[in-house]
Amino acid sequence: MWYPGHISKAKRKIKEFLKAVDTILIILDARAPLATTAFERELFSGKKVLYILNKSDLADENYTNLWIKKISETSPVISFSKDEPVNKIKKFIKSFSKEKLKETRVLIAGVPNVGKSSIINKISGRKLAKTGMAPGITRGLQWINLGNVKLLDTPGILYSKLFNKDIAAKLLLIGSLPVESIEKYDIITRAYELFKDELNINKSFEEFLEEYGKQRGFISKGGIVDFERTKNNIFKSISEGKFGRFTYDKEVNLWMQK
Ligand SMILES: Nc1nc2c(ncn2[C@@H]2O[C@H](COP(=O)(O)OP(=O)(O)OP(=O)(O)O)[C@@H](O)[C@H]2O)c(=O)[nH]1
Ligand SMILES: [Mg+2]
């Protein structure tokens, strides 16, 4: 499974910086609030933890509301998307800072590609952190000053081994695992199953690939569909919401506050 070296380095760095932070802002993807907790949240035990269900523009609104209700039983949480006014996050962070006048240091954590750096940029009103469509964009830790709030952007982290096929499939569907890195075909087919259930598609993965590849003109030299290119394009498009708004984690009762 995809686990580039910068992730283990990032975990070591996060541990080092923990002493210097008061609050952890965990960014989850609203489409998969459970799968996007697939990292060592125990790193943050003893700290004040806030949650943001991000990319809510790509999730099913009814489920987002259910998730907010569930998570708020144990932790402060809001939903967010890049088109919403950033004041929502600023107010949220400030309402949990210990003393209004003192400096608050907030570490932003989450799996790859959930929008951590985009949030930092929105809050600061400047493009201070690099963002991008692929997971693994942020490589080092970076402090961003916002008056008396200091924010620490961190690279996306993940468990080093993802044993659970469903979790891996959901992370693929939301773009937290690069499709090119998935070698296990059963993860791809599981992801397709989850996706096909949302759209009520009645085709096998092979049929779907064939048809989509032809439509898009992804044809190799011999005149046959380029399955690799088609597959990569499909999963990228799904993760960017081009097929619609879906929530893959539906069982809110599985939420457990660690
Ligand atoms: N639709 C949608 N896309 C978003 C939102 N927030 C961020 N994105 C997009 O998601 C992609 C990843 O954003 P980043 O901010 O780089 O994510 P990150 O969590 O910092 O990623 P890593 O540094 O790789 O861990 C970019 O293409 C963003 O434009 C959102 O609310 N809605
Ligand atoms: Mg980043």
In the chain, what are the domains?
5-160 (3.40.50.300), 165-239 (1.10.1580.10)
Mean local confidence (pLDDT), 7-36: 95
Supply the residue whose CA is at minimum distance from atom 13 of ligand 1.
Answer: 115
Residue 257 confidence (pLDDT): 54
pLDDT band at 38 (very low <50, low <70, confident <90, very high): very high
Phi-psi region of 204 (alpha: psi -120 to 50; beta: other; left: phi over 0): beta
Mean local confidence (pLDDT), 230-245: 98
Q: In this structure, are strands 149-153 and 104-109 parallel, antiparallel, or unpaired?
A: parallel
Residues 67, 131, 69: CA angle, nearest 5 degrees:
10
What does the pLDDT look like over 167-182, one tens digit per residue?
A: 999 999 999 999 999 9
Ligand 1 centre from 32 Cα, in Å? 14
Q: Sheet containing 104-109: give its strands across.
A: 77-79, 48-54, 23-29, 104-109, 149-153, 142-146
Q: Collapsing DSSP states into helix, strand and coil, what is residue 78?
A: strand
User: What is the crossing angle of helices 227-239 and 185-199, to 10°?
Assistant: 50
Residue 72 confidence (pLDDT): 97
| Weakest-pLDDT range from 55-69, 126-140, 188-202, 220-234 | 126-140
Identify which ligand lies nearest to the alpha carbon of 111.
1
CA distance 251 to 254: 6
Mean local confidence (pLDDT), 178-206: 95
- % the chain with pLDDT above 70: 98
Residue 193 has pLDDT above 90, yes or no: yes
CA distance from start to end of the chain: 25
| Weakest-pLDDT range from 77-91, 100-114, 159-173, 237-251 | 100-114
Question: Across the strands, what pairs with 53?
Answer: 28, 79
Residue 30 has pLDDT above 50, yes or no: yes
Ligand 2 centre from 131 Cα, in Å? 6
Residue 215 has pLDDT above 70, yes or no: yes
CA distance 125 to 134: 22
pLDDT band at 258 (very low <50, low <70, confident <90, very high): very low
Question: Across the strands, what pairs with 109?
Answer: 26
Residue 99 confidence (pLDDT): 65
Q: In this structure, are strands 149-153 and 48-54 parallel, antiparallel, or unpaired?
A: unpaired
Ligand 1 centre from 219 Cα, in Å? 30
Q: What is the sign, positive or negative, of the torsion defined by CA atoms of 168, 174, 177, 179?
A: positive
Q: Collapsing DSSP states into helix, strand and coil, what is residue 172?
A: helix
Residue 168 confidence (pLDDT): 97
As a three-state string, the secondary structure of 101-129 is CCCEEEEEECCCCCCHHHHHHHHHCCCCC
Supply the residue whose CA is at minimum distance from atom 9 of ligand 1.
Answer: 115
CA distance 105 to 83: 25
Residue from 88, 113, 173, 236 whose mutation best tests the ligand 1 pocket (most atoms within 8 A of CB)? 113
Averaged pLDDT score across all residues of the chain:
93
Residue 96 has pLDDT above 90, yes or no: no
| Weakest-pLDDT range from 59-63, 64-68, 137-141, 169-173 | 137-141
pLDDT band at 77 (very low <50, low <70, confident <90, very high): very high
Residues 13, 134, 15: CA angle, nearest 5 degrees:
10
Query: Does 54 contact ligand 1 (Cβ within 6 A)?
Result: yes
Ligand 1 centre from 225 Cα, in Å? 31
Query: Does 57 contact ligand 1 (Cβ within 6 A)?
Result: yes
Residue 190 has pLDDT above 50, yes or no: yes
